[in-house]
Amino acid sequence: MPAYRPPHIAASEITPRDIYMSRRNFMGAAAAAGLAFAGADSAFAAPLSAKPSAFKLDETLTPKEAVTTYNNFYEFGVNKDDPAANSGDFKPTPWSVKVDGMVGKPKDFGLEELMKMNLEERTYRMRCVEGWSMVIPWIGFPLSAILDQVEPLGSAKYVSFETVVRPEEMPGQKGFFQPLPWPYIEGLRLDEARHPLAILAVGLYGETLPNPNGAPIRLVVPWKYGFKSIKSIVRISLVEKQPETTWKNANAREYGFYSNVNPAVDHPRWSQATEQRIGEGGFFGANRRPTLPFNGYADQVASLYEGLDLKANY
């Protein structure tokens, strides 16, 4: 596969949230006046029931507006507000997820079946490689729940993921300039995928998953950088060899396969030692906080990487 290099976005060029939100407020006012703007609210669906979970943080939740309007989803554009602005035409139903590969019982899971899984609300820290973070109440179920149903073979060592390709509904997938090759692909080791913290999310903040956040189903791996949490999944495959991943193919120097949150390993263009929690004020101000190893989940997941050089396997 050819090497792609994503747009160069320096840390100093990332839009501060206060400026970004001022722009969004202006766009919302314009929409109310009758101008065309397909915002994230048009993608919100029905309330979603889930049982309480032990996976809950005693930390302030990131405001829902920020979670649903300030994110990365290149299928809808490369800017932070593009997913909210450009995803109104995306149709998350009907939907199915094919689970195949090195399994005893390959299966297509319909969305209705997935929504009937043992759903829990789990509050997770999420950390973006660009230096910002959020605390989000996801609704989902362990990825291991569907892996168990297809019975992975002993030769399966990894899990690969693939997102949908719908250029007629996802404007970031069409046109002359393409920042990434499609479909977006991602991967985990099988033991990572089976870890209790790894979930498939179908909702957040008590509602079904909005289009800008990866409707109708996405991966959430809270101890890794956000780009590992692939959105709008249509296929999950069990494989023997380490699968290719979109950002590693795009720029292996900057984006490795593991992508564990690690303050001791800098991104080649900026430090990962600190982060800015969205909702806590100035993007580059005094409110930056130290980045935690494995995003604060070291007690639960560090044993997965015992003996692994985390600087070489970034």
Average pLDDT for 87-106: 98
Confidence of residue 280 (pLDDT cuts 50, 70, 90): confident
Is 50 exceeded by the pLDDT of residue 170?
A: yes
Please give the angle made by the CA atoms of 102, 230 and 310, to the nearest 5 degrees.
Answer: 80
Q: Domain 14-305 classified CATH 3.90.420.10?
A: yes
Mean per-residue pLDDT, 108-135:
97
Q: Is the pLDDT of residue 3 over 50?
A: no
CB count, 10 Å around CB of 152?
A: 21
What predicted TM-score, i.e. pTM, was given to this entire model?
0.87
214 close to 73: Cβ distance less than 8 angstroms = yes
Domains of the chain, by residue range, sit at 14-305
Rounded distance, CA 171 to CA 31, Å? 20
Residue 27 has pLDDT above 50, yes or no: no
Mean pLDDT score of the chain, rounded to an integer? 87
Mean pLDDT, residues 19-35: 36
Tens of pLDDT, residue by residue over 283-304, are 455 689 999 999 999 999 999 9
- For the stretch 172-229, pLDDT in tens is 999 988 999 999 999 999 999 999 999 999 999 999 999 999 999 999 999 999 999 9
Supply 250's token pair.
């795009």
Query: What's the CA gap between 64 and 206, in Å, rounded?
Result: 11
Q: Which helix (H) or strand (E) holds 69?
A: helix 64-69
Nearest Cα to 211, choosing from 45, 20, 47, 97? 45
Backbone torsion region of residue 18, taken as left when φ is above 0, otherwise alpha when ψ lies between -120 and 50, otherwise beta: alpha
Tell me the one-letter amino acid at 123: T
Indicate the helix (H) or strand (E) that contains 193.
helix 190-193
